[in-house]
Amino acid sequence: MHRLTQAIIRSSLPPEQAIATRALAEAIVAANDPGDPAAPGTWPLWARLLPHLLALDPAAASGPGLRGLARDAARYLIVRGDHRGGHDLASGLYRQWGERLGPDNPDTRAAGNALGFALREMGETRAARELDEDTLARDRRVLGDDHPDTLASANNLAADLLGLGETQAARELDEDTLARYRRVLGDDHPDTLISANNLAVGLRGLGQTQAARELDEDTLARRRRVLGDDHPDTLMSASNLANSLRGLGEIRAARELDEDTLARRRRVLGDDHPNTLASASNLANDLLGLGETQAARELDEDTLARYRRVLGDDHPNTLISANNLAADLRELGETQAARELDEDTLARYRRVLGDDHPNTLISASNLAIDLRELGETEDRPG
């Protein structure tokens, strides 16, 4: 039904009947919950339901059923790759529920978690951290340290810390959260496995690559058994294990795993999904490490173009991709082109992440290598 027609019908109803009609509409939509928004099998159902949900203005929902559905819809949009759509929905829910229900209301806090997730995926990690710190503090006060919602908030904050380069703090929070998850929900619960995955990333960031590899292997095996081979979380673990293998010098094994993961992500998520692009970037790293530099360069060029289109020029993942392409160019002897790309990337890193972020320092080091190879060894900024 056209929205104008809906509005005319609503305006013609007596107040009591309008309230009853809306409650019925909310109940009907809520009863058609597609299920886990992170499971690709539910995505066609979410796509069909979403217009009906949005037509009801879920921020004004009177019952918890539709509010819960609206929160999950925001997460569906984010995991599907529509970060802006998920952000806009979650932002509206968080703001309006905070005003109407209060900041400590469980639906408000859950909307805050979804909004933090969107911000982090959009590269706005400082804003995500500020929001996630507030949500975690509220969860701890209202629910206690061991409630699953509190642990989910702790997971989110640790991811922010990792993205901001505060790797040791992220590792300590992830270790505590994982221990609590295992005690409260068990080793195989999907939320426990998210926590284990995140801890492995932190361990790798601290140079504890063998420990990360062992945790990645365990997490991947559990996710394959619990979620299936093609679930996005399973593919995340596969990608992370490949990173650990590459870090340990097992590049051929990493390549095989990255090729399989990229093929699955392309089929499940599509060619332009940020997670698919991460797999393409990882595979290009393998190719470079195996001496297949021209193939790495072609894949990195394609990946960088897609990242710029999908996430924008300044997103941290775009900048990682630019760094990788510059490394290919340098290896191929195109040092001046590498230098120009590294200069641009370093300037963006400094603006986006700050001078002291690990990725900024890596970028500065890469530019220094370019300058040295070009014979420009005088002191320069960075």
Of the candidates 233, 316, 313, which has an alpha carbon nearest to the alpha carbon of residue 269? 233
What are the structural domain ranges in the chain? 27-117, 209-291, 292-382
**How distant is the alpha carbon of residue 288 from its chain centre?**
26
Are domains 209-291 and 292-382 of this chain identical in fold?
yes
pLDDT in tens, 33-57: 999 999 999 999 999 999 989 888 8
4-18, 141-155, 317-331: least confidently modelled range: 4-18
pLDDT in tens, 210-244: 999 999 999 999 999 999 999 999 999 999 999 99
Q: Is 43 helix (H, G, I), strand (E, B) or coil?
A: helix
What is the pLDDT of the chain when averaged over all its residues?
92
Q: With pLDDT > 70 as the criterion, what percentage of the chain qualifies? A: 92
Fold observed for domain 292-382: 1.25.40
Which of the 8 DSSP states describes residue 13?
A: S
Pick the CATH number of 209-291 from 3.30.450.20, 1.25.40.10, 3.10.450.50, 1.10.1060.10: 1.25.40.10
The average pLDDT across 274-288 equals: 97
DSSP per residue, 338-374: HHHHHHHHHHHHHHHH-TTSHHHHHHHHHHHHHHHHT
Q: For residue 371, how many other CB atoms are within 10 A of its CB?
A: 18
pLDDT of 106 above 50: yes
Of the candidates 149, 85, 147, 155, which has an alpha carbon nearest to the alpha carbon of residue 115? 85
User: What are the start-end ranges of the H helices in the chain?
Assistant: 3-12, 15-30, 43-55, 64-80, 83-101, 106-121, 125-143, 148-163, 167-185, 190-205, 209-227, 232-247, 251-269, 274-289, 293-311, 316-331, 335-353, 358-373
Identify the band that residue 335 occupies on the pLDDT scale cut at 50, 70 and 90.
very high
25-39, 112-126, 330-344, 345-359: least confidently modelled range: 25-39
**How distant is the alpha carbon of residue 84 from its chain centre?**
13
pLDDT value for 25: 66
